[in-house]
Amino acid sequence: MTGLIVLVVVIVIALVLVFWVIGLYNGLARARIRVKESWSGIDVQLKRRSSLIPNLVETVKGYAAHEKEVLENVTRARAMLDRAQTPGQAAQADNMLTGALRSLFAVVEAYPDLKANQNFLELQRELTDTEDKIAYARQFYNANVRVYNEKVATIPSSIIAGMFNFEPAEFYEAEEAAREDVRVSFVSN
């Protein structure tokens, strides 16, 4: 009889342990899925902004044709962003695009007719809206990465994370020079 009680206790402990491991694994898996989902939100907004760039460049090109280098930098940065595969690559390309757009907007200041152009003003509104959405998506993504990385790094879930190859996710971080918002205000004084 004592052997049977010991066997039942061992089986119950084993089942509790199995369900505990399954719970930790599922928590890690759900957190990883939330990170991927929130990354897709950033990706959608980056693609939206990227699709605005050709129209913006064409509109500026008509007024500022001799600003070829600035326009080429914007186009190059956009292409890098389109090719980015990881959050780190996307953040780096996004920072380059932000810098290129900053230069483009500085050039636009010298062209009052361009600043008053309806097409340009609409692009400005869309870009401002997209920048706001990108900022929100970055914040949401980084919050999910933080939660996921905490699970990967803290005991006891770190043990399960190591066993099943859950790797920490990359934060989406701006470089110091890109931390300022892109200036998209073109109202004449």
pLDDT at 175: 62
pLDDT band at 187 (very low <50, low <70, confident <90, very high): very low
Identify whether 48 is part of a domain.
Answer: yes
Identify whether 6 is part of a domain.
Answer: no
The C-alpha atoms of residue 188 and residue 161 are separated, in whole angstroms, by 56
Burial class (CB in 10 A: 0-12, 13-18, 19+), 173: middle
Identify whether 25 is part of a domain.
Answer: no
Identify whether 186 is part of a domain.
Answer: no
CATH of the domain at 40: 1.20.1440.20
Mean pLDDT for all residues in the chain: 87
Q: Which residue has 């326009």 as its token pair?
A: 71
Q: Which residues lie below 8 Å from residue 53, measured CB to CB, with a gap of 6+? A: 74, 75, 78, 97
Domain range for 153 = 32-178
The count of domains in the chain is 1
The pLDDT tens digits of the residues spanning 131-185 come to: 999 999 999 999 999 999 999 999 999 999 999 999 999 999 876 544 454 454 4
Full DSSP string of 102-132: HHHHHHHTT-HHHHH-HHHHHHHHHHHHHHH
Q: What's the pTM?
A: 0.78
Separation in Å, CA 63 to CA 45, 66, 74, 86, 113: 28, 9, 16, 36, 8
Identify whether 141 is part of a domain.
Answer: yes
Identify whether 82 is part of a domain.
Answer: yes
Identify whether 21 is part of a domain.
Answer: no
Identify whether 24 is part of a domain.
Answer: no
**Helices in the chain by DSSP H: which ranges?**
2-63, 68-83, 87-108, 112-116, 118-153, 157-163
Taking alpha carbons only, the member of 174, 73, 59 closest to residue 127 is 59
